[in-house]
Amino acid sequence: MSRVGVIGIGHGVFGRRSDATVQELAFEAFRDAMTDAGIERGELDASVIAAVPEYHKQRSVAGVVQEYLNLNPLPTWLTEVACASGSAAIRTAYMAIKSGLHRVVAVIGCQKMTELGTAEILALMGRVGEVQWESVFGTTFPGYYAMFATRHMHEFGTTREQLLEVAVKNHHYGAMNPNALFQKEITIEKALASDPVASPFCVYDCCANADGAACLILADESRVSGRDGKVVWLDGVGSATSPMSVLRRPNLVGLPSASEAARQAYEMAGVTARDVKVAEVHDCFTIAELMAYEDLGFCEKGHGGRFIGERRSYIGGDVAVNVDGGLKAKGHPIGATGVSMACEIVGQLRGECGERQVPDADVGLTHNVGGIGQYTFVHVFRRD
């Protein structure tokens, strides 16, 4: 079957974007991706929009974005699986192309998180958990992931310092990324001294909401000729789910959906975890990145703290992880995050990331989690 390649990427600045509507954010990324691909609107067959509509005053986000981008009457549709919406959109476009229904598809992740207040956002995110038995008792995202961290510390001796080493690393690389929300390095001492959020978490254990957009142009193999050296192939896609209620999970030290999605993606791409040179993982909280190291097979279960402590997830280590700053420093506009991750991996495999370029990167991976691990998407990208 024909392979699916990424022929264009576009990425806007993440932050408190009071200067732009969600349509304008989408346009920034779409314009740059189309320019990068070197194609015109008439060469597109469809678009897939990733956004979580509850965060916008506008209910039908895909419709207004499609109109603003002057893409009517092409078909479009919205994907929404909480924080993994962007990766779900990529998978949807991939399936549309592999089926032969479409040949060139624009995937646009866009989100305005700052139209709502903090209390409203916390309430919305809390309801991503199981509403009958959990969120009614006041669960929040920090609270859920704090349970993962507490259990990981109990079972494996993981320390607060090891958790916060994730933040130090990601802010280090975020300081090199002009599209990141936070472009300033931090020290472990500053992180440890920050205000408590949900024990054992403090402020620097947690990612920040943001506004932003990113765009990919996907195409089938017949449309990528003449792009030698610039095409990055999406060769492995994996997706899996876990119970809505964390109380029905087998344990609280990993995400079963992530392990299964990784298995599928590795098998489809014909690679193993050892082949991955650069990865974007869902570090909504510091413990999430440590668990991702383990769930993706970068290290053994329980060794995530040692993995970051030995700098094995830095450039020059076993696998460079979140060298764009991750959600932690880049920010987390939830509909755009999965697409943003893919843009970074494509840029790395094309050798375009400047001072944070991973040497000899030929296989890259994205790991995007929706909710508290209810949905996970893992994608494997490759440069020939």
Q: Provide the CATH number for the domain around residue 217.
A: 3.40.47.10
- 152 is an active site residue: no
Give which of 213, 179, 245, 182 is closest to 27, Cα–Cα: 213
- Per the structure, the complete domain to which residue 10 belongs is given by 4-116+209-223
Going by pLDDT thresholds of 50, 70 and 90, the confidence category of residue 96 is very high
**What is the rounded average pLDDT for all residues in the chain?**
95
How many residues are recorded in the chain? 384
pLDDT in tens, 293-322: 999 999 999 999 999 999 999 999 999 999
Q: Is residue 40 part of a domain?
A: yes
User: Rounded to 10 degrees, what is the CA torsion of 152, 81, 90, 293?
Assistant: 0
Residue 350 parent element (H or E): none
How many domains are contained in the chain? 1
Question: Which one from 11, 152, 332, 367 is the annotated catalytic residue?
Answer: 332
Residue-wise pLDDT tens digits, 53-78: 888 777 789 999 999 999 999 999 99
232 contacts 346 by C-beta, under 8 angstroms: yes
Looking at the whole model, is its pTM more than 0.85? yes
Q: At 203, which helix (H) or strand (E)?
A: none
Instruction: Judge whether residue 129 has pLDDT over 80.
Output: no
pLDDT digits (tens, 9 = 90+) for 143-199: 999 999 999 999 999 999 999 999 999 999 999 999 999 999 999 999 999 999 999
pLDDT band with cut points at 50, 70 and 90 for residue 140? confident
Distance of alpha carbon 74 from alpha carbon 41, whole angstroms: 10
- Pick the catalytic residue: 11, 56, 83, 110? 83
- How many whole angstroms separate alpha carbon 310 and alpha carbon 135? 37
* Residue 102 DSSP one-character state: -
Residue 187 contacts by C-beta under 8 Å, 6 or more apart in sequence?
A: 168
What gap in Å lies between CA 226 and CA 216, rounded to an integer?
Answer: 19
Count of C-beta atoms within a 10 Å radius of residue 72: 10
* H or E, element range at 169: helix 160-174
So what's the pLDDT on residue 167? 98
Burial zone of 297 (CB within 10 Å; 0-12 exposed, 13-18 middle, 19+ buried): middle
Q: Known catalytic residue: 303?
A: no
Inside any domain, residue 53 = yes
* Confidence band of 124 (pLDDT split at 50, 70, 90): confident
Write down the pLDDT at residue 227.
73
Least confident among 44-53, 222-231, 303-312: 222-231
Name the 3-class secondary structure at 373: coil
Above 90 in pLDDT, residue 136? Answer: no
Residue bearing the bigger pLDDT, 27 or 135: 27
- Residues with Cβ within 8 Å of 232's Cβ and at least 6 positions away in sequence, in order, are 5, 6, 345, 346, 349, 350, 381, 382, 383
Torsion, CA 214, CA 220, CA 221, CA 224, rounded to 10: -50
CA distance 92 to 374: 18
Residue 143 lies in a domain: no
pLDDT recorded at residue 372: 92
Q: What SS3 class is residue 118?
A: helix
